[in-house]
Chain A
Amino acid sequence: MIAAAIPTPSVDWAALAPIIVLLAASAVCLLAAVLLRPAWGRAVSAGATAAAFVGAAVAAALLFDSSETPSSVTEGALARDRLGLFATFIICLIGLLAVGVSWMHTARRHVPEYYGLLAATAAGMIFLTQSTNLMTLFLGLEWFSIGLYILCAYDVGVVGSLEAGLKYLIVGGFGSAVLLFGSALVYGATGQIEFSAIAEATAKQDLSGDLYLVAGLAMILAGLGFKVSAAPFHMWTPDVYEGAPTPVTAFMSAATKAAALVLTLRLLVTAFPDEAELWTIALAVIAVVSLAVGNLAALTQTSLKRLLAYSSVAQAGFMLTAIAAGNEIGGQALLYYLIPYGAASLGAFAVVAARERELGRAVTLETIGGMGWERPLLGGAMWVFMLSFAGMPLTGGFVGKFYAFAAAYQRGWTWLVVIGVIATAVSIYYYLAVIRAMYMRSAPAAGVVAVGGQPPRDSALSAVAATCVVVVIGSFVAVEPIIDLAQKAVASLAFPY
């Protein structure tokens, strides 16, 4: 009787398949942690997580095909559209590769819980990219953030891991609070929480330029800025990236950016088309600041993880450039950029993880000396990743930057192109510093001897590095198919410019 009194919304369960599969894997991991012996638990949980990522990716691909016209999963809370599914696919692949990086991670305790968290966190990211109202947005954001807080602090034995988790928790919590406050202001101004309804209300009630709405938008942008680690909201990034277990860093550097940036694109384009003048310029400014801060700070780093952290700030600047352009090319540029960026970022941290395991201590530009010759595969892979970050041809990073610049130019912002080009020129210095350290310095000169003789062969990690190389170079060759998909993914968005 009571059930009949409460109208239940219809739910498109098929569209939730990726999230459900990942959550199921997470549950399997937690059961394995309790029921199985550690060795079995490790194998079962890693296998289940990897299988879930594959399954979710396949589901996303199938859904992509059948979701030409966007629809709502449930009452305007989540969208079943190609934008979300494109991001889902990328996040799942990143997750799968992250499992490979984690497989030989040195921590021995609570391994199944680790994989469970990984799967659940990825599910949260997918939820975020598909969210279409401010409530689900916040829910998704917190969901994956809490997972990441724990993952960062997972290596309690390692100095800095707990600190990283706590730091991320505090700063991330602050960012979430700002975003929530902003959401409240937007709701207060428009009376709506659904993205498209906010846009309608803004247009109908002529709220464009309304103080509460603008303040809310600004606070939402700041909150998202924390998540994508764009300057000036990036202060946590180097510390957390350095302190967190390297496989976690690899995962979060690639996947968090993908989820948060896609959400940013969706939110701004669907909810705030009337404020486009405002947010495009605001994002352009944030992009420029990120490029400046990230690149300049990276120049002086010696710790490789910190260097890559600052580089990720700068990379966020390039991707925000694409969103800031506010046109269709910009949307395509963002989605394209995420692929080589994700692969290069995850791969680079994977190489760092491999070196860490070899040496048993932090990886710096000194301790990586000679690695290119000792480990030809990992060295060559790192070479490719650095070139991709630097936007050199023969890697997808080049095409991504080219598209981002093209979008900015089409918007009429030649100045942004010029700044991006200058930032690229600066970045070459430190990306090449990594190559220089790996190939032009020998290991004995750096005074490094691997602990415990020959390190165990880590074929999972090598396979991940090789896959990332294939993705980075493959995305350079196969631009047309990827851009076609990206074009389909952003086709449902009405870009303001």
Chain B
Amino acid sequence: MGSWVTSALILVPAGAALALWLLPWPRELVAPLALGVSLVEVALWIGALADFDFSAGAFDLQYAEQATWFGDLGVTYHVGFVGIGLWLAGLTVVGQTAAIVYAMRAGRDRPRAYYGLMLLLTAAAVGVFAAQDLLLFYVFWEAMLIPLYLLVGVWGGAGRQRATLLFVVYTMAGSLLMLASIIVLGISEGTFDLRALQTNPNSSTWIFLGLAAAFAVKAPLFPFHGWLPSAYREAPAEVAGVLSGVVSKAAAYGFLYIAILLLPGPAADLRTPVLVLAAVGLVYGSLLAFRARDVRGVIAYSSLAQLGLIMLGVFATNLAGWNGAVLQMVNHGLISVTMFMLAGLVESRTGTGRLDRLGGMAKGRPMLATVLMVTGIIALAVPGSTAFAGEFLILTGVFVTGWGWAVVGAIAIVLAAMYMLRLISAVLHRQEGSAVSDESRDLRPIELVTLVPLVACLLFLSAWPAAITSHTFTGTSNDPALSDLLPELQK
């Protein structure tokens, strides 16, 4: 694969979105076309993965492409992949493909607008993980918001207008603080190139806080999660899945790859406050998930908890923590997309997501039961699952930082088991709920086509979590960038 692959991963879906909007496609061709483009994305990504040199340093850029954009301020179109970005780009293309298949089943109306926006979202999210210029990163970051706003606002549930408003107000407040930070950082250093900025780290706490504001809202990190419940409830199921599975990862990635790498000093200084927020979010989210009254509520709050856990790993600032965080980002991404789609499928069969009206769905619906059980059990980090590997690494990493954090993390894993098992039993077991009838059928083949690949990815990672952990941050011995950085972060 040549270095064109990075730009292709961004431009192919963006161009396809434009083509969908501008040309008069027959209605029935739109969805297959979008799916085709998504599959091309997956193929491109696999190609990039196959030729990726994992023995290089964790922050050695591959498939890099650079072109001037506006030279007088030092802003360039600079894209490429490091290991972590590549994994998350993969999560994006896989998650988006599943979401598009799901949408085909659900039959979204106004298909040209809908699939165009989905493809634009793919382009923007891949761009976030590929951008190597700070301003370009911001551009892609904000570009994600445009399709999300409409996807939730037009195709969402009854309370969608309020949900989108909350979502946009929270996100923009954070993003604009990030923009101010980016301007201050870039203009004062004379370049916006991430490579150049990383070799010449800045030490302003204000800049770090500005960047962190955007990431903390998008993740979300406690207490910036006010938009989360309504957005995850009102969004179409597949969009909620992408929002929690893919878009939230952009925030965790931003913390690790932008905030910490560009500003290691402030990151080290502010480590404890961030860890406290992450730990509180982890426990608080888990408790809310345990108390939630509907399927989506459980998944939404568990997402808050999982992001807290990932942030523990990121701010453990050591190899174990980071490897665990990256693995857990991919795990949670796949789990979230699957779970939200399952929630959507259950809702479309019963007309409700309320746990007290569901129940007994395992009987006569073996496929649904199997997929939900497998995903749920992986999500609760049963030993042997990939989530267990991720969480174990995070706890190992954060234990080195302070054993107290690991205790909190361990408690939260117990809580995760509680809310996940409660969800499974409330949907599948117990007496048949009032909303469940014989009309509520088992999963159909197209629905299995959506879900099984995602579950297969999870099972594959369960069998070989080292696929990610041994191929992201390999070690400090042969990686000078990493071996310089980590001690500084431990100060």
Contact = CB atoms under 8 A, between A and B. Distances in A.
Contacts of A402: 135, 179, 183
B183 A425 contact: no
Interface in A129-167: none
26 contacts: A380-B21, A387-B146, A392-B145, A392-B146, A393-B138, A393-B139, A393-B140, A394-B143, A398-B139, A399-B70, A403-B73, A406-B73, A406-B183, A409-B183, A414-B184, A417-B184, A421-B176, A425-B172, A425-B173, A429-B169, A435-B149, A435-B150, A439-B150, A439-B153, A439-B154, A440-B154
A110 interface: no
A422 B110 CA distance: 35
Nearest to A394: B143
A426 to B, nearest CB: 10
Interface in A383-400: 387, 392-394, 398-399
Contacts of A428: 168-169, 172
B69 interface: yes
A440 B173 contact: no
Contacts of B110: 373
Contacts of B153: 436, 439-440
A405 interface: yes
Interface in B127-178: 135, 138-140, 142-143, 145-146, 149-150, 153-154, 160-161, 164-165, 168-169, 172-173, 176-177
A71 B247 CA distance: 55
Given A376-B21, A409-B184, A439-B154, 7 more contacts: A399-B70, A409-B187, A432-B168, A436-B164, A479-B69, A479-B70, A487-B72
A480 B146 contact: no
B71 interface: yes
A326 to B, nearest CB: 16
A429 B167 CA distance: 12
Contacts of A409: 183-184, 187-188
A393 B143 contact: yes
A394 B146 contact: yes
B180 interface: yes
Contacts of A290: none
B419 to A, nearest CB: 33
B187 A440 contact: no
Interface-central residue, B145, B161, B172, by most chain A CB under 10 Å = B172
Contacts of A435: 149-150
Contacts of B149: 432, 435
B68 interface: yes
Interface string A355-379: 0000000000000000001001000
Q: Closest 6 interchain pairs by CB?
A: A393-B139, A479-B70, A393-B142, A421-B176, A421-B180, A425-B176
Given A380-B21, A392-B142, A425-B176, A440 B183 contact: no
A418 interface: yes
A418 B180 contact: yes
A440 B145 CA distance: 16
A109 to B, nearest CB: 39
Contacts of A410: 187
Contacts, number: 81
Contacts of A373: 110
Interface in B64-87: 68-73, 75
Interface of A: 329, 332, 373, 376, 380, 387, 392-394, 398-399, 402-403, 405-406, 409-410, 414, 417-418, 421-422, 424-425, 428-429, 432, 435-436, 439-440, 479-480, 483, 487
B187 A421 contact: no
B23 to A, nearest CB: 12
Contacts of B177: 421
Contacts of A422: 176
Given A398-B139, A479-B69, A480-B68, A436 B187 contact: no
Contacts of A417: 180, 183-184
A406 B187 contact: yes
A479 to B, nearest CB: 4
Nearest to A482: B70
Nearest to B112: A376
B150 A480 contact: no
Nearest to A427: B172
Interface in B368-413: none
Nearest to A422: B176
A329 B72 CA distance: 9
A479 B74 CA distance: 12
B138 A405 contact: no
Given A387-B146, A393-B142, A405-B183, A424 B176 contact: yes
A440 B160 contact: yes
A29 B447 CA distance: 66
Interface string B283-299: 00000000000000000
A373 B150 CA distance: 13
A393 B120 CA distance: 13
Nearest to A420: B180
Nearest to B177: A421
Contacts of B138: 393
Contacts of A483: 70, 72
A480 B172 contact: no
A155 B475 CA distance: 75
A430 to B, nearest CB: 12
Contacts of A387: 146
Interface-central residue, A373, A480, A483, by most chain B CB under 10 Å = A480
B483 to A, nearest CB: 35
Nearest to B67: A480
Nearest to A428: B172
A480 B73 CA distance: 10
Nearest to B136: A393
Nearest to B156: A440
Contacts of B184: 409, 414, 417
